[in-house]
Amino acid sequence: MSNLFFRNTTLLILCCSGFACTFIKPTPDSLNEDINHWLSNNQHDKIDYAINNIDIKKTPEFKKILNLKPSLKRKKSQYIEKVSKTAEKHKQNSNWQLALNTYDDALSKLNSNPRLISERNDLIKQRNIHVANLRKELLINRANALISYKKTYTALEKLIPEDNSAQYDISLYEDEKENLAKDLQKCGEHAIQNNHYTIARDCYVLSNQLMPSETKLSFVDKIKNQLKDQENKQRFKELLSAYDSAYTKKDFKSARTALQTLTAIEPKHKKATKLLNNLNKEIDELVEALIATGKKQYSKKKINQALKTWQKAKKLNPDNKELIQLIIRAEKVSKNLQKLEDNQ
Protein backbone atom coordinates (compact mmCIF):
# COMPACT_ATOMS: atom_id res chain seq x y z
CA MET A 1 0.00 0.00 0.00
CA SER A 2 2.78 2.40 1.03
CA ASN A 3 4.76 1.54 -2.12
CA LEU A 4 1.75 2.25 -4.33
CA PHE A 5 1.15 5.55 -2.56
CA PHE A 6 4.81 6.53 -2.96
CA ARG A 7 4.78 5.64 -6.68
CA ASN A 8 1.57 7.64 -7.37
CA THR A 9 2.88 10.61 -5.41
CA THR A 10 6.14 10.57 -7.38
CA LEU A 11 4.27 10.43 -10.70
CA LEU A 12 2.05 13.32 -9.60
CA ILE A 13 5.08 15.44 -8.70
CA LEU A 14 6.80 14.65 -12.02
CA CYS A 15 3.64 15.44 -14.00
CA CYS A 16 3.17 18.73 -12.19
CA SER A 17 6.82 19.63 -12.77
CA GLY A 18 6.50 18.88 -16.50
CA PHE A 19 3.29 20.88 -16.75
CA ALA A 20 4.94 23.81 -15.02
CA CYS A 21 7.91 23.67 -17.42
CA THR A 22 5.66 24.13 -20.45
CA PHE A 23 4.52 27.50 -19.08
CA ILE A 24 7.99 28.92 -18.32
CA LYS A 25 8.23 32.23 -20.20
CA PRO A 26 11.52 33.44 -21.73
CA THR A 27 13.32 36.36 -20.17
CA PRO A 28 14.89 39.14 -22.30
CA ASP A 29 18.32 37.61 -21.63
CA SER A 30 17.27 34.09 -22.60
CA LEU A 31 15.51 35.34 -25.74
CA ASN A 32 18.58 37.38 -26.65
CA GLU A 33 20.69 34.21 -26.33
CA ASP A 34 18.22 32.33 -28.52
CA ILE A 35 18.30 35.06 -31.16
CA ASN A 36 22.11 35.00 -31.25
CA HIS A 37 22.01 31.22 -31.61
CA TRP A 38 19.44 31.40 -34.41
CA LEU A 39 21.46 34.12 -36.14
CA SER A 40 24.57 31.94 -36.10
CA ASN A 41 22.53 29.27 -37.93
CA ASN A 42 20.64 31.75 -40.16
CA GLN A 43 17.31 30.57 -38.72
CA HIS A 44 15.52 33.80 -39.51
CA ASP A 45 12.03 32.29 -39.48
CA LYS A 46 12.46 31.49 -35.77
CA ILE A 47 13.70 35.03 -35.10
CA ASP A 48 10.73 36.55 -36.96
CA TYR A 49 8.29 34.34 -35.07
CA ALA A 50 9.79 35.27 -31.69
CA ILE A 51 9.93 39.01 -32.44
CA ASN A 52 6.41 39.13 -33.89
CA ASN A 53 4.97 37.45 -30.80
CA ILE A 54 6.29 40.03 -28.36
CA ASP A 55 3.46 42.12 -26.89
CA ILE A 56 5.20 45.28 -25.70
CA LYS A 57 2.14 46.35 -23.70
CA LYS A 58 2.14 43.15 -21.64
CA THR A 59 5.91 42.69 -21.56
CA PRO A 60 7.63 46.12 -21.69
CA GLU A 61 10.89 44.53 -20.52
CA PHE A 62 11.33 43.17 -24.07
CA LYS A 63 11.61 46.67 -25.56
CA LYS A 64 15.37 46.31 -26.11
CA ILE A 65 14.75 43.11 -28.06
CA LEU A 66 12.21 44.90 -30.27
CA ASN A 67 14.75 47.67 -30.89
CA LEU A 68 16.90 45.01 -32.61
CA LYS A 69 14.21 44.50 -35.28
CA PRO A 70 15.74 46.82 -37.97
CA SER A 71 19.18 45.27 -37.44
CA LEU A 72 17.77 41.72 -37.63
CA LYS A 73 15.81 42.61 -40.77
CA ARG A 74 18.99 43.93 -42.39
CA LYS A 75 20.90 40.77 -41.50
CA LYS A 76 18.11 38.67 -42.96
CA SER A 77 18.28 40.66 -46.22
CA GLN A 78 22.06 40.25 -46.29
CA TYR A 79 21.69 36.50 -45.84
CA ILE A 80 19.15 36.27 -48.68
CA GLU A 81 21.47 38.30 -50.93
CA LYS A 82 24.39 36.03 -50.05
CA VAL A 83 22.34 32.91 -50.82
CA SER A 84 21.30 34.36 -54.17
CA LYS A 85 24.87 35.27 -55.16
CA THR A 86 26.26 31.91 -54.02
CA ALA A 87 23.64 30.00 -56.01
CA GLU A 88 24.28 32.18 -59.08
CA LYS A 89 28.04 31.53 -58.79
CA HIS A 90 27.42 27.77 -58.66
CA LYS A 91 25.17 28.05 -61.71
CA GLN A 92 27.78 30.03 -63.66
CA ASN A 93 30.27 27.25 -62.89
CA SER A 94 27.71 24.69 -64.15
CA ASN A 95 27.32 23.27 -60.63
CA TRP A 96 23.54 23.16 -60.94
CA GLN A 97 22.96 20.73 -58.07
CA LEU A 98 25.09 22.80 -55.69
CA ALA A 99 23.05 25.86 -56.65
CA LEU A 100 19.83 23.95 -55.99
CA ASN A 101 21.18 22.68 -52.65
CA THR A 102 22.03 26.28 -51.68
CA TYR A 103 18.41 27.34 -52.21
CA ASP A 104 17.03 24.25 -50.45
CA ASP A 105 19.22 24.82 -47.41
CA ALA A 106 18.18 28.49 -47.20
CA LEU A 107 14.49 27.72 -47.68
CA SER A 108 14.59 25.22 -44.82
CA LYS A 109 15.24 28.30 -42.65
CA LEU A 110 13.14 30.73 -44.70
CA ASN A 111 10.15 28.66 -45.76
CA SER A 112 8.18 31.35 -47.54
CA ASN A 113 10.73 33.78 -48.97
CA PRO A 114 9.27 34.82 -52.37
CA ARG A 115 12.60 35.85 -53.89
CA LEU A 116 14.42 32.58 -53.13
CA ILE A 117 11.41 30.50 -54.16
CA SER A 118 11.19 32.36 -57.47
CA GLU A 119 14.93 32.08 -58.13
CA ARG A 120 14.86 28.36 -57.30
CA ASN A 121 11.97 27.79 -59.72
CA ASP A 122 13.81 29.71 -62.45
CA LEU A 123 16.92 27.63 -61.79
CA ILE A 124 14.99 24.39 -62.24
CA LYS A 125 13.44 25.68 -65.48
CA GLN A 126 16.86 26.66 -66.84
CA ARG A 127 18.34 23.32 -65.81
CA ASN A 128 15.50 21.43 -67.49
CA ILE A 129 16.09 23.37 -70.72
CA HIS A 130 19.78 22.41 -70.63
CA VAL A 131 18.91 18.79 -69.96
CA ALA A 132 16.44 18.75 -72.86
CA ASN A 133 19.02 20.31 -75.18
CA LEU A 134 21.68 17.79 -74.18
CA ARG A 135 19.31 14.86 -74.71
CA LYS A 136 18.33 16.25 -78.08
CA GLU A 137 22.02 16.65 -78.97
CA LEU A 138 22.74 13.04 -77.98
CA LEU A 139 19.75 11.83 -79.98
CA ILE A 140 20.81 13.72 -83.09
CA ASN A 141 24.44 12.63 -82.76
CA ARG A 142 23.37 8.99 -82.48
CA ALA A 143 21.11 9.38 -85.52
CA ASN A 144 23.87 10.96 -87.62
CA ALA A 145 26.25 8.20 -86.56
CA LEU A 146 23.79 5.46 -87.59
CA ILE A 147 23.09 7.19 -90.90
CA SER A 148 26.84 7.33 -91.60
CA TYR A 149 27.11 3.54 -91.03
CA LYS A 150 24.49 2.74 -93.69
CA LYS A 151 26.92 2.45 -96.63
CA THR A 152 29.25 0.23 -94.61
CA TYR A 153 26.50 -2.22 -93.60
CA THR A 154 25.07 -2.26 -97.13
CA ALA A 155 28.50 -3.09 -98.56
CA LEU A 156 29.04 -5.77 -95.89
CA GLU A 157 25.74 -7.46 -96.74
CA LYS A 158 26.61 -7.58 -100.43
CA LEU A 159 30.07 -8.99 -99.75
CA ILE A 160 29.09 -11.79 -97.34
CA PRO A 161 25.30 -12.26 -97.49
CA GLU A 162 25.49 -15.75 -95.97
CA ASP A 163 27.83 -14.93 -93.11
CA ASN A 164 25.92 -15.41 -89.86
CA SER A 165 28.10 -13.03 -87.85
CA ALA A 166 27.67 -10.26 -90.43
CA GLN A 167 23.92 -10.84 -90.60
CA TYR A 168 23.70 -10.65 -86.83
CA ASP A 169 25.53 -7.28 -86.80
CA ILE A 170 23.29 -6.01 -89.59
CA SER A 171 20.21 -7.14 -87.67
CA LEU A 172 21.37 -5.25 -84.57
CA TYR A 173 22.01 -2.18 -86.71
CA GLU A 174 18.50 -2.33 -88.24
CA ASP A 175 16.91 -2.74 -84.79
CA GLU A 176 18.83 0.24 -83.44
CA LYS A 177 17.81 2.30 -86.47
CA GLU A 178 14.15 1.42 -85.97
CA ASN A 179 14.20 2.19 -82.24
CA LEU A 180 16.02 5.47 -82.73
CA ALA A 181 13.66 6.48 -85.54
CA LYS A 182 10.76 5.98 -83.11
CA ASP A 183 12.52 8.06 -80.43
CA LEU A 184 13.14 10.83 -82.95
CA GLN A 185 9.50 10.77 -84.00
CA LYS A 186 8.46 11.15 -80.34
CA CYS A 187 10.97 14.00 -80.07
CA GLY A 188 9.29 15.66 -83.08
CA GLU A 189 5.79 15.18 -81.68
CA HIS A 190 6.78 16.62 -78.29
CA ALA A 191 8.51 19.58 -79.95
CA ILE A 192 5.40 20.37 -82.03
CA GLN A 193 3.24 20.35 -78.89
CA ASN A 194 5.58 22.97 -77.38
CA ASN A 195 5.82 25.00 -80.62
CA HIS A 196 9.55 24.20 -80.97
CA TYR A 197 9.35 23.78 -84.73
CA THR A 198 13.10 23.86 -85.45
CA ILE A 199 13.66 20.90 -83.13
CA ALA A 200 10.59 19.15 -84.58
CA ARG A 201 11.93 19.57 -88.13
CA ASP A 202 15.38 18.18 -87.23
CA CYS A 203 13.89 15.19 -85.42
CA TYR A 204 11.48 14.28 -88.22
CA VAL A 205 14.11 14.72 -90.95
CA LEU A 206 16.53 12.37 -89.16
CA SER A 207 13.77 9.89 -88.33
CA ASN A 208 12.83 9.79 -92.01
CA GLN A 209 16.46 9.26 -93.03
CA LEU A 210 16.68 6.29 -90.69
CA MET A 211 13.25 4.81 -91.55
CA PRO A 212 11.66 6.61 -94.52
CA SER A 213 7.89 7.12 -94.74
CA GLU A 214 5.46 9.40 -96.58
CA THR A 215 3.85 10.42 -93.29
CA LYS A 216 7.12 11.78 -91.95
CA LEU A 217 7.80 13.68 -95.17
CA SER A 218 4.35 15.23 -94.90
CA PHE A 219 5.10 16.31 -91.34
CA VAL A 220 8.42 17.83 -92.45
CA ASP A 221 6.60 19.96 -95.06
CA LYS A 222 4.03 21.11 -92.50
CA ILE A 223 6.76 21.97 -90.01
CA LYS A 224 8.67 23.98 -92.62
CA ASN A 225 5.51 25.97 -93.30
CA GLN A 226 5.07 26.57 -89.56
CA LEU A 227 8.68 27.75 -89.30
CA LYS A 228 8.16 30.12 -92.21
CA ASP A 229 5.05 31.50 -90.53
CA GLN A 230 6.96 31.94 -87.29
CA GLU A 231 9.80 33.73 -89.05
CA ASN A 232 7.35 35.99 -90.87
CA LYS A 233 5.49 36.82 -87.65
CA GLN A 234 8.77 37.73 -85.97
CA ARG A 235 9.78 39.82 -88.99
CA PHE A 236 6.37 41.55 -89.03
CA LYS A 237 6.71 42.31 -85.32
CA GLU A 238 10.15 43.85 -85.88
CA LEU A 239 8.93 45.96 -88.82
CA LEU A 240 5.89 47.23 -86.88
CA SER A 241 8.19 48.10 -83.99
CA ALA A 242 10.49 49.97 -86.41
CA TYR A 243 7.45 51.83 -87.77
CA ASP A 244 6.29 52.81 -84.26
CA SER A 245 9.77 54.04 -83.32
CA ALA A 246 10.23 56.06 -86.52
CA TYR A 247 6.70 57.51 -86.44
CA THR A 248 7.16 58.65 -82.83
CA LYS A 249 10.32 60.52 -83.92
CA LYS A 250 8.43 62.04 -86.89
CA ASP A 251 10.78 60.16 -89.21
CA PHE A 252 8.01 59.50 -91.74
CA LYS A 253 10.36 58.27 -94.45
CA SER A 254 11.72 55.43 -92.28
CA ALA A 255 8.23 54.71 -90.95
CA ARG A 256 6.87 54.31 -94.48
CA THR A 257 9.84 52.14 -95.54
CA ALA A 258 9.11 49.72 -92.65
CA LEU A 259 5.43 49.42 -93.65
CA GLN A 260 6.23 49.09 -97.36
CA THR A 261 8.66 46.26 -96.59
CA LEU A 262 6.03 44.49 -94.49
CA THR A 263 3.29 44.79 -97.12
CA ALA A 264 5.72 43.59 -99.79
CA ILE A 265 6.24 40.37 -97.78
CA GLU A 266 2.57 40.03 -96.86
CA PRO A 267 0.26 42.12 -99.07
CA LYS A 268 -2.81 40.97 -97.10
CA HIS A 269 -1.51 42.21 -93.74
CA LYS A 270 -4.52 44.32 -92.68
CA LYS A 271 -2.88 46.35 -89.92
CA ALA A 272 0.16 47.29 -92.01
CA THR A 273 -2.01 48.17 -95.03
CA LYS A 274 -4.23 50.42 -92.94
CA LEU A 275 -1.26 52.13 -91.26
CA LEU A 276 0.45 52.66 -94.63
CA ASN A 277 -2.68 54.23 -96.16
CA ASN A 278 -3.07 56.57 -93.20
CA LEU A 279 0.64 57.43 -93.25
CA ASN A 280 0.58 58.19 -96.99
CA LYS A 281 -2.35 60.57 -96.46
CA GLU A 282 -0.51 62.25 -93.60
CA ILE A 283 2.65 62.58 -95.71
CA ASP A 284 0.68 64.00 -98.65
CA GLU A 285 -0.91 66.60 -96.38
CA LEU A 286 2.49 67.47 -94.91
CA VAL A 287 4.07 67.79 -98.37
CA GLU A 288 1.26 70.07 -99.52
CA ALA A 289 1.72 72.20 -96.41
CA LEU A 290 5.48 72.44 -97.03
CA ILE A 291 4.91 73.37 -100.68
CA ALA A 292 2.57 76.17 -99.59
CA THR A 293 5.05 77.38 -96.94
CA GLY A 294 7.85 77.37 -99.52
CA LYS A 295 5.76 79.40 -101.96
CA LYS A 296 5.12 82.07 -99.31
CA GLN A 297 8.82 82.22 -98.54
CA TYR A 298 9.62 82.46 -102.26
CA SER A 299 7.14 85.29 -102.77
CA LYS A 300 8.89 87.23 -100.00
CA LYS A 301 12.23 86.78 -101.85
CA LYS A 302 13.44 84.25 -99.21
CA ILE A 303 14.72 81.97 -101.96
CA ASN A 304 17.12 79.86 -99.91
CA GLN A 305 14.55 79.28 -97.16
CA ALA A 306 11.99 78.22 -99.76
CA LEU A 307 14.55 75.89 -101.32
CA LYS A 308 15.25 74.21 -97.95
CA THR A 309 11.51 73.82 -97.31
CA TRP A 310 10.88 72.19 -100.68
CA GLN A 311 13.94 69.91 -100.34
CA LYS A 312 12.53 68.76 -97.00
CA ALA A 313 9.23 67.99 -98.73
CA LYS A 314 11.06 66.18 -101.56
CA LYS A 315 12.56 63.73 -99.07
CA LEU A 316 9.01 62.70 -98.18
CA ASN A 317 7.79 62.58 -101.78
CA PRO A 318 10.72 62.43 -104.24
CA ASP A 319 8.41 61.81 -107.25
CA ASN A 320 6.26 64.92 -106.79
CA LYS A 321 6.55 66.72 -110.16
CA GLU A 322 5.47 70.10 -108.82
CA LEU A 323 8.17 69.92 -106.13
CA ILE A 324 10.83 69.00 -108.67
CA GLN A 325 9.95 72.01 -110.85
CA LEU A 326 9.85 74.37 -107.84
CA ILE A 327 13.26 73.20 -106.64
CA ILE A 328 14.84 73.50 -110.11
CA ARG A 329 13.52 77.06 -110.45
CA ALA A 330 14.60 78.05 -106.94
CA GLU A 331 18.08 76.61 -107.48
CA LYS A 332 18.50 78.67 -110.72
CA VAL A 333 17.34 81.86 -109.01
CA SER A 334 19.62 81.14 -106.03
CA LYS A 335 22.63 80.69 -108.34
CA ASN A 336 21.85 83.90 -110.25
CA LEU A 337 21.54 85.85 -107.02
CA GLN A 338 24.84 84.43 -105.82
CA LYS A 339 26.53 85.53 -109.08
CA LEU A 340 25.17 89.04 -108.69
CA GLU A 341 26.51 89.21 -105.13
CA ASP A 342 29.91 87.93 -106.27
CA ASN A 343 30.15 90.57 -109.06
CA GLN A 344 29.37 93.48 -106.74
* 180 pLDDT more than 80: yes
Say how far apart CA 251 and CA 90 lie, in whole Å.
48
The predicted-structure confidence for 34-86, as pLDDT tens digits, reads as follows 999 999 999 999 999 998 888 888 888 888 888 888 999 999 999 999 999 99
Say how far apart CA 341 and CA 94 lie, in whole Å.
76
The predicted-structure confidence for 149-178, as pLDDT tens digits, reads as follows 999 999 999 999 889 999 999 999 999 999
Q: Which pLDDT belongs to residue 23?
A: 44
Bigger pLDDT: 4 vs 114: 114
The predicted-structure confidence for 255-290, as pLDDT tens digits, reads as follows 999 999 999 988 999 999 999 999 999 999 999 999
For residue 180, how many other CB atoms are within 10 A of its CB? 20
DSSP secondary structure letters along 90-105: HHHTT-HHHHHHHHHH
Average pLDDT of the chain? Answer: 87
Q: Which pLDDT belongs to residue 62?
A: 86
Q: Which pLDDT belongs to residue 24?
A: 58
The predicted-structure confidence for 226-262, as pLDDT tens digits, reads as follows 888 888 889 999 999 999 999 999 999 899 999 999 9
Bigger pLDDT: 179 vs 11: 179
Say how far apart CA 232 and CA 269 lie, in whole Å.
11
Q: What share of the chain is helix, strand, coil (3-state, %, to 5)?
A: 85, 0, 15
User: Any residues with CB less than 8 A from the CB of 2 and at least 6 apart, and which?
Assistant: none
CA dihedral (143, 144, 148, 150) positive or negative: positive
Say how far apart CA 103 and CA 105 lie, in whole Å.
5
* 3 pLDDT more than 80: no
The predicted-structure confidence for 96-108, as pLDDT tens digits, reads as follows 999 999 999 999 9
In this structure, are residues 313 and 297 in contact, taking their beta carbons and an 8 Å threshold?
no
From 215, 216, 194, select the one nearest 203 (Cα to Cα): 216
Q: Which pLDDT belongs to residue 36?
A: 92
Angle at 25 between CA 24 and CA 26, to 5 degrees: 120
* 12 pLDDT more than 50: no
Q: Which pLDDT belongs to residue 114?
A: 93
Bigger pLDDT: 243 vs 26: 243
